């Protein structure tokens, strides 16, 4: 191990990927983290079986001599048992993300998996960086680099913002670097399936029966694709589909009819567990059904549109879609029963079937 002198620190090249760590030969615990764009001094020591890392500051703003003196001071404090009161350094993005995802109020397990996968894909080189080393310029640059998919760019950096601000509750961090981003305009995709007879033919021509039923159930329930992907037979009851945790953080019961059981019947013999099994998938259920020109969310929008055109009130359509009501009364006081919602579900399904196969 080298002595971390001013000359040594200034000559160190920036890391090509991740973070390189250089420990001092004389002062135990003094370490210089070298990232792709910055160099940061830390003091690190194991206390009570846990690793404590204390931020000293950025190099060259904090010189090697100042860092060495500060590290000696921390070593003395910890030797006296006062280390617990020292300011701990910022967590890495990976640690902050896991802390955020561990919150009991977070949405479903599927949403957690999705967020972790998306950030790991698009922010992989940030994962081991302390949050206070992720700058505004880095956030702006990453957002710009993802301009080919504006919606994904906004979503990834907003997820990062949520994680960062959650970490600020317990860590002394500056304002979130995403405040420098000029967000892409969110243009909602309002497309629906205009020709349901053509949709019916497209579905019937699919070679995989599991994929056929997947798209049918999407259309005739209005459920989100991940809610359908992860369905288990124990959730399919005689009068409802039970979702223990949904995107908005609560359970949901959707009224169903004989039609829904008829749609699902071909899949009953295939698996005791998953409604849409896939032996090739690590999860055990399908995650990538055959792609159509009608994407999964178009099915949800079509369900809602046809229901309203058939005379179902907008508020009731929102209930069937498990949208959070806008009014305080709707959020806190009114809880329509399944039996109250069932006629509206039947009206919507009857109209969808009529348009798809021409049945009156």
Which CATH number, 2.40.30, 1.20.120, 1.10.150, 1.20.59, labels domain 93-180? 1.10.150
Position 48 confidence tier, pLDDT thresholds 50, 70, 90: low
Instruction: Pinpoint the residues of the chain covered by CATH 1.10.150.
Output: 93-180
Q: Among 44-58, 153-167, 288-302, which stretch is predicted with the lowest mean pLDDT?
A: 44-58
Across 184-210, average pLDDT: 92
Q: Within 13 Å, how many C-alpha atoms sit on residue 64's CB side?
A: 17
Question: Residue 15 carries which DSSP code?
Answer: P
What pLDDT score was predicted for residue 215? 97
202: left (phi over 0), alpha (psi -120 to 50) or beta: alpha
> Which residue in 191, 106, 119 sits closest to 155, CA to CA?
119
What pLDDT score was predicted for residue 49? 66
**What is the spatial distance between Cα 90 and Cα 53, in angstroms, rounded to a whole number?**
9
Scored b (16 or more CB within 10 A) or e, 204-213 reads eebeeebbbb
**Tens of pLDDT along 281-340?**
888 999 889 999 999 999 999 999 999 999 999 999 999 999 876 655 455 445 678 889
Instruction: Pinpoint the residues of the chain covered by CATH 3.30.160.390.
Output: 6-84
Query: Mean pLDDT of all residues in the chain?
Result: 88
**What is the spatial distance between Cα 329 and Cα 102, in angstroms, rounded to a whole number?**
31
- Contact present, 162 and 176 (Cβ < 8 Å): no
Give the contacts of 277 (CB within 8 A, at least 6 positions apart).
210, 270, 271, 284, 285, 286
What pLDDT score was predicted for residue 126? 94
Give the contacts of 311 (CB within 8 A, at least 6 positions apart).
347
Q: Does 82 score more than 60 pLDDT?
A: no
Position 83 confidence tier, pLDDT thresholds 50, 70, 90: very low
Q: What is the CA radius of gyration of the chain?
A: 27
**What is the spatial distance between Cα 316 and Cα 154, in angstroms, rounded to a whole number?**
31
User: Architecture of 196-357 per CATH?
Assistant: Orthogonal Bundle (1.10)
6-84: CATH topology is: Double Stranded RNA Binding Domain (3.30.160)
Q: Among 124-133, 183-192, 275-284, which stretch is predicted with the lowest mean pLDDT?
A: 183-192
What pLDDT score was predicted for residue 189? 77
What pLDDT score was predicted for residue 99? 87
What pLDDT score was predicted for residue 333? 43
- Contact present, 136 and 180 (Cβ < 8 Å): yes
> Which residue in 258, 284, 288 sits closest to 272, CA to CA?
284
Q: Does 97 score more than 60 pLDDT?
A: yes
**Tens of pLDDT along 232-266?**
999 999 999 999 888 777 889 999 999 999 999 99
Q: Name the residue with tokens 């019916």.
A: 200
Q: Does 103 score more than 90 pLDDT?
A: no
Instruction: Pinpoint the residues of the chain covered by CATH 1.10.443.10.
Output: 196-357
Across 186-194, average pLDDT: 86
Across 67-89, average pLDDT: 70
């Amino acid at each position: 191990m080298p002595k971390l002198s001013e000359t040594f620190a200034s000559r160190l090249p920036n890391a090509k990927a991740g973070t390189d760590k250089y420990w001092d030969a004389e002062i135990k615990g003094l370490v210089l983290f070298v990232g792709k764009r910055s160099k940061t001094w830390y003091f690190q020591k194991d206390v009570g079986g846990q690793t404590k890392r204390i931020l000293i500051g950025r190099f060259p703003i904090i010189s090697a001599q100042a860092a060495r003196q500060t590290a000696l001071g921390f070593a003395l404090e910890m030797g006296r048992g006062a280390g617990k009161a020292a300011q701990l350094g910022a967590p890495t993005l990976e640690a902050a993300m896991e802390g955020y995802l561990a919150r009991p109020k977070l949405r479903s397990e599927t949403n957690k998996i999705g967020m972790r996968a998306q950030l790991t894909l698009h922010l992989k080189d940030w994962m081991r960086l302390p949050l206070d080393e992720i700058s505004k310029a880095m956030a702006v640059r990453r957002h710009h680099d993802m301009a080919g998919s504006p919606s994904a760019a906004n979503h990834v950096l907003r997820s990062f913002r949520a994680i960062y601000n959650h970490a600020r509750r317990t860590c002394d961090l500056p304002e979130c670097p995403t405040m420098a981003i000029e967000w892409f305009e969110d243009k909602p995709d309002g497309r629906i399936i205009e020709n349901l007879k053509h949709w019916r033919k497209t579905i019937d021509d699919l070679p995989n029966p599991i994929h056929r039923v997947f798209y049918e159930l999407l259309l005739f329930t209005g459920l989100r694709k991940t809610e359908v992907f992860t369905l288990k037979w124990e959730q399919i009851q005689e009068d409802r589909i039970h979702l223990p945790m949904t995107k908005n953080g609560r359970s949901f019961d959707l009224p169903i009819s004989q039609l829904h059981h008829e749609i699902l019947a071909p899949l009953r013999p295939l698996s005791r567990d998953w409604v849409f099994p896939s032996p090739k998938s690590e999860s055990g259920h399908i995650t990538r059904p055959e792609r159509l020109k009608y994407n999964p969310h178009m099915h949800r929008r079509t369900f809602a549109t046809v229901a309203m055109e058939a005379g179902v009130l907008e508020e009731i359509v929102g209930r069937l879609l498990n949208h959070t009501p806008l009014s305080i009364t709707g959020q806190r006081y009114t809880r329509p029963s399944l039996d109250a919602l069932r006629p509206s579900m039947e009206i919507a399904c009857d109209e969808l079937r009529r348009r798809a196969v021409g049945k009156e």
